[in-house]
Amino acid sequence: MFSDALDGGGIDVTTVIGVLSETVGTRNRQIEEILHLNLACLSQFRCLANLRKTSEGAEELVLSVSCRGYTDLDKLTALVEELLSVVSLYQPLVSADADGYASNPLLGAGQTTLSDELDGAMVFHL
C-alpha cells in the first residue's frame, strides 16, 4: 500500500506479511524469530518491521519503507524492490506453526529455528 508519510515529506510503502499465531507459545517464538531476523538484516535492508493490532485484535507483521520526497522515482523503485525481496525472508516466520520453521529457506539442514542459525553470529555496524 502506498500512502503519504505522516510528516507529509514523502511516501510510505507498506505490506502486511501475515497474522501471528493465536497460540501464546508459538506467537512468542515467532516474535523472537522476527527480532533475530531484524537484527541480522539491519546492515542489509532499509525496511522496517512492525507488529500491529488488527481490527479483530490479532497481531500482524507489517513491513514498510519510506521514500523521502516525491521526485526520485529510481529511489522509490529500489525501495519497493527491496521491500518485495525482504517479504520472502519474513513470510516463513509468520506462517510457521508449533512444529517449527522447516520451510524457511534461511535454515540449514540441522537447524529448526532462525536463532539456531544466528547463534554465535556477529553483527557489525560501520
Question: Cell digits for 95?
Answer: 506462517
pTM greater than 0.75 (yes/no): no
Q: What is the pLDDT of residue 40?
A: 84
pLDDT of residue 11: 81
Give yes or no for a contact between 91 and 17, defined as CB atoms under 8 angstroms apart. yes
Along the 126 residues of the chain, how does pLDDT read in single tens digits? Answer: 777 777 777 788 888 999 999 888 888 999 999 888 888 887 788 888 889 898 888 899 998 887 777 677 888 888 888 888 888 888 888 876 555 544 444 444 444 554 554 455 555 544
Q: So where are the chain's domains?
A: 2-118
Whose cell is 521491500? That residue is: 83
- Give the contacts of 69 (CB within 8 A, at least 6 positions apart): 9, 10, 75
* pLDDT for the residue 126: 44
Which pLDDT belongs to residue 103? Answer: 44
- CATH classification of 2-118, choosing from 3.30.1460, 2.60.40, 3.40.1350, 3.40.50? 3.30.1460
Element (H, E) at 12: strand 10-19
Cβ proximity of 80 and 65 under 8 Å:
yes
CA 3 to chain centroid, in Å, comes to 19
